[in-house]
Structure 1
Amino acid sequence: MDELRVLGTVQAWAGGRRVEVGHARQQCVLVALAVDANRVVDADQLLDRAWGERIPLRGRETLYTYLSRLRRALSEVRDVTIVRRSGGWELRVDPDAVDLHRFHRLLAHARGTPDPVAGSVAVEQALALWRGEPFTGLDTPWISSVRESLGQQRRAAELDHTDLALQAGRHTELLPALAARAGEHPLDERAAAQYLLALYRCGRQADALTHYQTVRERLAQELGADPGPDLQALHHRILTADATLTVTEPAPAVQHPVPRQLPSAPPHFTGRVAELAALTTTLDAAADHAATVVVSAIAGAGGIGKTWLALHWAHRHADRFPDGQLFVDLRGFSPEGEPMDPAVAVRGFLDALGVDPGRIPVDPHAQAALFRSLVADRRMLLVLDNAADTTQVIPLLPGSRSCTVVVTSRDRLPGLITGHGARHLALHILDDAEARDLLTTRLGAARVQAEPDAVGELVRLCGGFPLALSIIAGRAHTHPHLSLAAIADELRDSGLDALDDGDPAASLPAVLSWSHQALTADQATTFALLGIAPGADIGLPAAASLVGLALNDTRTVLRALEQASLINQDAPGRYRLHDLIRRYATTTAHDLAEEVREAALARVLDFYTHTAHAADRLLYPHRLPAQLGTPGPGTRHHPLPDVPAALAWFDTEHPNLLAAQRTAAAHAQHHAVWRVAWTLSTFHTRRGHHHDELDVWLAALNAAAHLPDPTTHTVTHRYLGGAYTNLGRHREATEHLHQALALAEHHHDVLHQGHIRFYLAWASERRGDYRQALEHARRVLDLPWTHDQPVWKADALNQVGWHAARLGEYDTARTHCQAALTVHRRHHNPIGEAHALGNLGYIDHHTGRHERALDHYGQSLVLLRRAGDISNEAITLDWAGQAHTALGRHDQARAVWREALELCRRQGRHDDAERVRRQLDELSGSSATDNPPAQAAHPIRR
């Protein structure tokens, strides 16, 4: 077989041929990895093991060179490779391919079998692996210590072999070797006992008693001690000719106890139907196909219910594991100190399996091998609860496919998944129905049904977090005089403090703190800053700006937080904290210096405003630009290549931009408040977010009071007038627009006077005053600045044409809109072109040119969809339906009106949606109206 040999001269063999593994120092590196095969050994350990105190000047570079050479050499050996892992290197190899680990496995098997003959054979096979002194010719302090330990293990194995051979009745055969051993080690009482027993069984009682006296006298002379109690007891039995000493038949088979270590099943378990099914499916599939041990890794945040799920499932399926169930709390995240050493867990398992303490080997590797031997071919379940990481779990994995392992951890254990084929099961929050079921189970249906609103509030505030729900249920149960409404009020007012019951195991803040303690400094800082970041989620570029790290470094930190189940990645590159975890993160943010928090918020606000401004420029490059200044140091640039990318970014980040404005207002960042409103306006118009538009400009109005530039006041009132107009609140619209006009006139701001007139025309048209609207539009066209700005002049032409059309002056309307279309096309302004085409279609339809109207509408729709202007898209589809109806094409009318209806509903335009729905109903009754109230195209946002 292909193998590595270290019990002698270090050698690698492939297909019966020796493979050259390099000089002595390179062999030291191989030994350093082979002793801990399938475990990660970090660079410092490798340097210490291979060089000791004589590490060369460029030690790490030399080490990397040796590792590279060893990789090439071992590539010839089947299933043996050195892999780079997080934290160091690992020799990936079948343990049986390394004579050292095969030696340990055979000894463990020998000590675990009840048959002395089989045990004796196994020890003989183990000892036959030795080909001289381990690591011959290699010399470092670490190698010397390992060599000495292995020598002791070999001597113990030789003694074990003698014990087993004596049990099997081979005393006559052994006697010469035992005599020699007793002479070589005159103070070794175990060797003396074996020699005494062999002498007695060979009929030499007197010689046995004489040798005992010799040993006793030697011990007294050299150590000043008497023989130990075991040797004295044997002497007494020989002296009295104890008949049992001559019994050499194999001992009766040991009756191994069947361990039942599972803690009690959770008493109020609810929900998790899909997760329970997934665990069972894994078990069922493994029964047919698994070639190795089946491992299910349940990962999730602290308090999410991992242990409850594992125990509930384990008890439900206990009958499928007739040879027992083992359980251990590995204390990976615990207030009780460091995580449990896996060797301690292995020793606990050996005790549970009924191994005589005197037969348990000292070496941890040998103990693990003995454990694997004992559970081989036994149908057992192991529940490894609260694991810290993969390295803590691997030594506890059985080698037999008859066993099943369920691991729970806050860490996602990627090494267990990739290296050992574990099935990952992510545990998330309970849905509302499951959360209600939990409260009902704990509190009773009557109490829950008596306060449905309070229960709904508790479910909302706990956010589906099982531990939070359990704490609340416990409080309600122990305080039956408290109403659920009062408990909900306390939870709403006190937040996480209401979920702290004093008992660390029943305190959500305490449970989360154990995860927090395991974070590095960068991870803890990032976690804290995520708690105060605006918005319910955050993208990678925004997060990089928040923490002030490079994108790759930020991604690494976020991956670690995700692996620790403190954040979730709901979509690629989008990260979210559960509301309760966010509250905890916010509390940890108070431990950061104030300047650190303020700098982080300034960077993330700069990111949002500058990226939004760049996106807005893509949507409408002819709009007046805002003066944003230079983003602060550490703010990450996020390029957006084109209009679709800008729209997609706005759609994704819109809630966060609103939250960013609220955060800026809370921190008196007045410029940021105003800039967010400005950058969102085009997007709001095209997507029909009318209420959001009003909210951001009301916030901007408060901020403008603290800003010195009078233009900000003028612009704010103008946009507020537009927002109120969109919502049909004509009185407020008129007030703000006239305030804006008065400010512009006071400051002789002719440019903004023109823009305000646009809005006044639009507001007049929405009130039904078409003549006043046309007057405002003409005054815009007459302003001198339109001659220097051809696109703006085209907008004015188009608006004059629209209002003329609304008055029935179709020739005037067509002339102006056609002129506007020509200019917009010449200057590559697709949104202005779309509006002009839509107006021309309206004019054609109302002058009986329905086919031509549909052509104009079709061209307009193409441009509107490219621009993401679903607000005007809905209007144009509505108009197209009128043209189809006029032509008797009811199926086509029905199709476009259905599209318009869906768009209106998406934008929350309930009145428009109801009007389009009525048109559809009337069309079904063949009585569709030909001229419903027309909608004005929205003004260009300047």
Structure 2
Amino acid sequence: MATRFGILGTIEVRRHGVLVDVGHAMQRRVLAALLVDAEQGVSADALVERVWGDTEPGHGRPKLYGYLSRLRHAMAADGTAITRERGGGYRLAVEPSAVDAHRFRELSDRARRTGDDGQSEALWREALALWRGSAFAEADTPWFNAQRQLLDSERLAAQLELADVRLRLGQHDGMVSELATRARSYPLDERVTGQLILALNRCGRQAEALEVYERARRRLAHELGVDPGAALRRLHERILAGDPEPAEPRSTAPTATPQPTGKSSTAVRPPMVRQLVPRLLPADPSLFVGRESEVDEARRLLGAEQPGPPTLLITGAAGVGKTAFAIRTGHLLAARFPDGQLHADLRGFGDEPAEPFTVLGTFLRALGTPGGAVPAELTDRVHLYRTLLAGQRTLVVLDNAAGVQQLSDLLPSGVRCAAIVTSRTTIAELSCSRLPLGVLDSGTGLDLLRKMLGRDRTDAESGPARAIVDTCGGLPLAVWVAGARLAARPGWPLAKMARALADEQRKLDELAVGHIAVRASLQLTYQQLTAAAQHALRMIALLPEPSFSAWALAALLDAGLAEAEAVLDDLVEVHLIQIESADASGIRYQLHDLVRLFGRERAELDVPEQDREAALTRLLSASLHLADLAADALKVDFQGISQLDLATWQPPATESAQLLADPLAWFTDERRFLIDVTEQALDGAQNVAPAAGLATALTTLFQVGSHFDDWERLQNRALTAALSSGDRHSAAKVHRCLGELTTILDRYPEALHHFKQALQHAEGQEPTYRASATAGLAYVHRLLGQYSSAIHHFEEAARLAESASNVNCLVYATNGLGVIDLEQGRVDAAVERFTKCLRVSRAAGYRPGEAQALRCLGQSHRALGSHPAAADAYRRAAAISEDLGDRLSATHATCWLGDVMVRQGEHRTGRRLLAQSLWTYREFGNLWGEAATLNALAEAHLAVGRSASARRRAEAAVRLWRRIGSSKWLAVGLDTLGAAHALAGGHSAAARAREEADEVRRA
């Protein structure tokens, strides 16, 4: 492979062995943050957190984009690409094996699996040779530090594995120095100590070996208050006994000896119990992948200090891999529990759950109790079981438990024992540590498929392989079933399975092999539910997307919020749904795609079609009601048009108020869901009016959050549906909203078309709709410098708004007239209009109108040369917009504040605010704002004599004004460009710019 990436040391890239310059330290951090998840998407927010941590400067995103751009350029030579993911993240398209950390893990895995010590030694040495120092040597953030700690622990584990192999190969002579150094670094690690003792003993240095043991024993007693473990004690005993090759001894406890009674009759003997070391764990699952952090957490929890024996409950949905995880963890912990491991499948969700009485019989026999001595009563079995485990270090693994009743008699009571329990329920009554398992990420799912099918076959069809994993939703059982079917059919292309799984009608049928099937696994959980919970699952499966809140289920069930939350708790308890997020704004739930398919099957079988349609109609109505209330609470939209008359079902007022306590946060959480509800309704022709109403009710929320892509796509769909159904009322509203959007995006011809169409469809309707469309039309004419048309339409909009008592639109139109006054030099008239807008907005509680009036008053003060008053107005306007979450309006105020700061002589502060505004305008794709800011920056550089910088920015502003098509502002930009040329001594160029500006004004 031509290019290699290194993070096990300094962060570096080598191409054909030659070091490649990939930028400064921060840029290399970005590269490393992507390399850790090679071939997987990483969100921009995650990258900022990884790279800057707690020191993020507040403009990390723009810097991140710059670093990514430069990295793309640096690595383009060999085709390595950084691609933008659909969800907004970034993916480094590089084979994981080209990254030293991933190569290290791959070699380590191969070394553990091979049965040949010679091959294992070579693989371990190759893996450890990849290390060049401390991982991410130059990076110091919480995320990098945590990754470094994880990799360091894996490096130590590899070193210990290699030492074990070398000891088995008889290489002890050359190992003592290395092992002694490691023992000094890890004085409490009994495995490290044992390796050193064994090497010393084999080298004939028994006295030193015994001295190492004694030092370790004293240190463990002093620092941890414990004795050495059984393995280290046995090694010590063998050395004392002069055994030249210490090995694991088998222990036998003395049997009970009957006392003579002096009578001829036979005395009753106590049961003769042989102390065996039970090893009941099933084989370590060879197909186990991933879960490294969960395994580490399990080991930590089971080693934590606590009053009684630790119990760890592994929970998760059916098929998520709880059993495999418990067995793998049990094997990894076996050395910590030298007195044995017990295991039982409790079959808690099957037709015949295991009885504690029967399980105890199995455990007692495994512990050495002869069959005839196993008590016949449950209580006696429990007592004997606890007696045998007292003082021992035994691990008990209880798989697939239904509840605490099944567990209480099986959990060990010995303080040196531990238990691992798995269950589909959370078993709230159980006193334990809890570790929930989620689905696998796509990379780990692919690893599982590779293990089953081989790397060559999987990588040869990497696209279909990834599609299989994604379609299975990362559920290990589903990936395993798909892999098992493919493994049994080596001639099948993976694309065949991917196509079959992409068909939702066939997916659950395809995910079955032999007696193992995803549907059957889900059915076991489903049949344990109450009738109410079963019905709720069927209804949830009808939702347009798997992520939802409780109010959505309340609408589907025609029930109260408390009732919906109660049944959701029942479904969370058995992991048929998961809690996606929980914060002060509420709980969001997640339904796995395969559970969703299962629920839809049950809905189609058990719920009449008319009941399903009625439930979805209630959902649409509740969505419309809440979205309209949220938009109204924010008071941002100048339409002032309510959609509540279209809502036929809504939550009680108290519940609506509770849900919308923070309307912007609610919309942020529900945006994707509301879009999907709208599109689901638009797919059916019978709900066009409320679906289009919901699409337009979201306008305010889209605008505040700058979700322009969602806005355009959804409302274009709604417009098509409205026009197809002949719904002129809905068409008028959607055209008007699209006019507003295209105005924001500086697409003025489109904006004019939409506003004119809105007026045409609104003909004969109430004046509110005509007022808002007319005001939007006027605004576009003003931006194009067509003042007579703008004045005519603004005056007409104000008249219509006043007749309809629409304060929002009245303020908007009046403000527009004031801006024209200001731009035409009538400053006093402008101030009068802006002051009226400010007064009316405050009286009506219309905060966006207040912010707009303050911005315009700031412009008036600026025109009069009163810069301190202008700056104060801009600051107050920006604060209101930021409080509303309206970043674009806040940026308008910040941009002009920067301009005023420059005019006051505070050049550095002013340029910083202007540069900040420029980034935001570019992020939003707002060309008008970008051009205005570039022109202001050019003037700021002119003020300090920087002619070259001023010329570059003025030229960029002029290019944008030409693209936008605004003659007035093009002339302003040409004036600035002429001044920049003149300052640099380019008098002929300055004259040409001034001449063109005059021509533009005349035209």
Q: TM-score range by the shorter chain?
A: 0.5 to 0.7
SS at match of 1:416: coil
Contact 2:858 2:871 in 1 (8 A): yes
1:352 aligned to 2:366? yes
Match of 2:624 in 1: 609
Indicate which of 838, 852, 855 corresponds to 1:838: 855
SS at match of 1:332: coil
Task: Quote the residue 1:331 is aligned against.
Answer: 347
Specify the SS of the correspondent of 2:502: helix
Give 1:380-529 correspondences, 5 Å limit.
380-417=394-431, 422-494=432-504, 497=507, 500-503=510-513, 506-529=516-539
SS for the counterpart of 1:297 is strand
Q: Which has the larger radius of gyration?
A: 1
- Correspondent of 1:716 among 734, 750, 759: 734
- In the alignment, structure 1 residue 851 sits paired with structure 2 residue 863: no
Letter in 2 for 1:831: P
Check conservation: 1:500, 1:510, Cα contact below 8 A.
no
Question: SS state of the match for residue 656, structure 2?
Answer: coil
Q: Which residue of 2 aligns with 1:624?
A: 641
8 Å Cα contact 1:343/1:364 also seen in 2: yes
Are 1:715 and 1:740, in contact at CA under 8 Å, matched by a contact in 2? Answer: yes
Summarize the alignment of residues 231-380 of structure 1 with structure 2, pairs less than 5 Å apart: 254-285=273-304, 289-334=305-350, 337-380=351-394
1:100-137 residue CA offsets vs partner (Å, 9 max, x unmatched): xxxxxxxxxxxx997657xxxxxxxxxxxxxxxxxxxx
Looking at structure 1, the residues matched to 647 and 466 of structure 2 have their Cα atoms a distance apart, in angstroms, of 47
Consecutive unaligned residues in structure 1, runs of 5 or more = 1-111, 118-166, 173-196, 199-244, 937-942
Q: Distance in 2 between matches of 1:700 and 1:536?
A: 23
* Cα distance in 2 for residues equivalent to 1:410 and 1:784: 59
The one-letter code sitting in structure 1 at the alignment partner of 2:396 is L
SS of 1:538 mapped into structure 2? strand
Letter in 1 for 2:284: A
Amino acid across the alignment from 2:277: V
Residues 1:870 and 2:887 aligned together:
yes
Q: Give, in angstroms, the shift of residue 306 of structure 1.
A: 0.9
Of 678, 695, 704, 1:661 maps to: 678
Q: Could you say which residue in structure 2 is the equivalent of 1:10?
A: none
The AA in structure 2 aligned to 1:568 is Q
Aligned length: 694
- Decide which of 802, 811, 818 is 1:794's aligned counterpart: 811
CA distance in 1, matches of 2:454, 2:328: 21
Residue identity in the other structure for 1:168: Q
Deviation at 1:903, TM superposition (A): 4.8
In structure 1, the residue matched to 2:562 is 552
Check if 1:579 corresponds to 2:593.
Answer: yes
Q: Is the 8 A contact 2:768 2:801 kept in 1?
A: no
SS in 2 for 1:406: strand
- CA 1:563–1:921 in structure 2 vs 1: closer, same or farther (change >3 Å)? farther
Distance in 2 between residues matched to 1:850 and 1:644, nearest whole Å:
38
Q: CA offset at residue 686 of structure 1?
A: 2.2
SS in 2 for 1:534: coil
Q: What aligned pairs does 1:891-910 form with structure 2 within 5 A after superposition?
A: 891-897=908-914, 899-900=916-917, 903-904=920-921, 907=924
Choose from 542, 548, 552 the match for 1:542: 552
- 1:388 aligned partner, one-letter code: A
C-alpha distance in 1 between matches for 2:938 and 2:473: 42
- The CA deviation at 1:267 is 0.8
Match of 2:744 among 717, 726, 734: 726
Amino acid at match of 1:439: L
1:214 maps to which residue? none
Counterpart contact for 2:473–2:594, Cα < 8 Å? yes
Q: Counterpart amino acid of 1:263? A: P
SS of the residue corresponding to residue 382 of structure 2 reads helix
Instruction: Tell me: CA distance 1:840–1:634, structure 2 relative to 1, closer, same or farther (3 Å).
Output: closer
SS at match of 1:759: helix
Distance 2:301 2:467 in 1: 37
TM-superposed CA distance for 1:877, in Å, is 1.6
Give the deviation of 1:263 after TM superposition. 1.0
Q: Secondary structure at the match of 1:574?
A: strand
Between the aligned partners of 1:701 and 1:250, the Cα distance in structure 2 is: 90
* Contact kept in structure 1, 2:500 and 2:507, CA below 8 Å: no
CA contact (8 A) 1:505 1:511 kept: no
The Cα RMSD (Å) is: 3.6
The residue identity in structure 1 corresponding to 2:374 is I
- Give the deviation of 1:425 after TM superposition: 0.5
* CA deviation map 1:213-266 (0-9, x unaligned): xxxxxxxxxxxxxxxxxxxxxxxxxxxxxxxx8xx8989974333222111111
Which piece of structure 1 moves more, 716-725 or 494-503?
494-503
Which amino acid counterpart does residue 379 of structure 2 have in structure 1? H
Preserved CA contact (<8 Å) 1:540 1:574: yes
2:739–2:751 contact (8 Å) kept in structure 1: yes
Shift of 1:743: 3.2
Following TM superposition, by how much is the alpha carbon of 1:375 offset from its aligned partner in structure 2, in angstroms?
Answer: 2.1
| SS of structure 2 residue aligned to 1:387 | coil
Name the residue aligned to 2:835: 818
- Identical-residue share of aligned pairs (%): 30
TM superposition shift of 1:895: 4.5
* Residues 414-446 of structure 1: CA deviation (Å, up to 9, x unaligned): 1113xxxx1101111222332233233333333
Distance 1:416 1:604 in 2: 37
Q: Is the 2:500–2:510 Cα contact (8 Å) retained in structure 1?
A: no
Q: Does 1:764 align with 2:764?
A: no
SS for the counterpart of 1:603 is helix
The alpha-carbon distance between structure 1 residues 477 and 885, as it changes in their structure 2 partners (threshold 3 A), is farther
Quick one: distance in 1 between partners of 2:792 and 2:694? 33
Aligned amino acid, residue 691 of structure 2: V
Which of 595, 614, 620 is the aligned partner of 1:599? 614
Q: For residue 742 of structure 2, what is the amino acid of its counterpart?
A: Y
Question: Counterparts of 2:884 and 2:617 in 1: how far apart (Å)?
Answer: 31
2:109 matched to which residue of 1?
none
Distance 1:599 1:662 in 2: 17
Q: Check the 8 A contact 1:386/1:409 in 2, yes or no.
A: yes
Q: Distance in 2 between matches of 1:303 and 1:909?
A: 48
2:624 and 2:644 in contact (8 A); partners too: no
Secondary structure, aligned partner of 2:409: helix
Cα distance between partner residues in 2 of 1:790 and 1:607: 27
Which residue matches 2:540?
Answer: 530
How far residue 914 of structure 1 moved from its aligned partner, in angstroms, is 9.7
User: Cα offset for 1:501?
Assistant: 4.5
Tell me if the contact between 1:305 and 1:467 (Cα under 8 Å) persists in the aligned partners.
yes
Question: Helix, strand or coil: the match of 1:298?
Answer: strand
Q: Which runs of 5+ in 2 are unaligned?
A: 1-251, 966-1003
Q: 524-533 or 429-438: which moved more?
A: 429-438
2:731 and 2:758 in contact (8 A); partners too: yes
**Other structure's SS at 2:400 match:** strand
Aligned to 2:65: none
Are the equivalent residues in 2 in contact too, given 1:548–1:634 (CA < 8 A)?
Answer: no
Change (3 A) 1:827 1:260: closer
Instruction: Tell me what 1:238 maps to.
Output: none
Greater relative CO (CA pairs within 8 A, separation 6+): 1
1:277 deviates by 0.6
Report if aligned partners of 1:606, 1:635 keep a CA contact under 8 Å in 2.
Answer: no
1:168–1:726 Cα change, 3 Å:
same
CA contact (8 A) 2:641 2:768 kept: no
Q: How far apart are residue 397 of structure 1 and its match?
A: 0.9
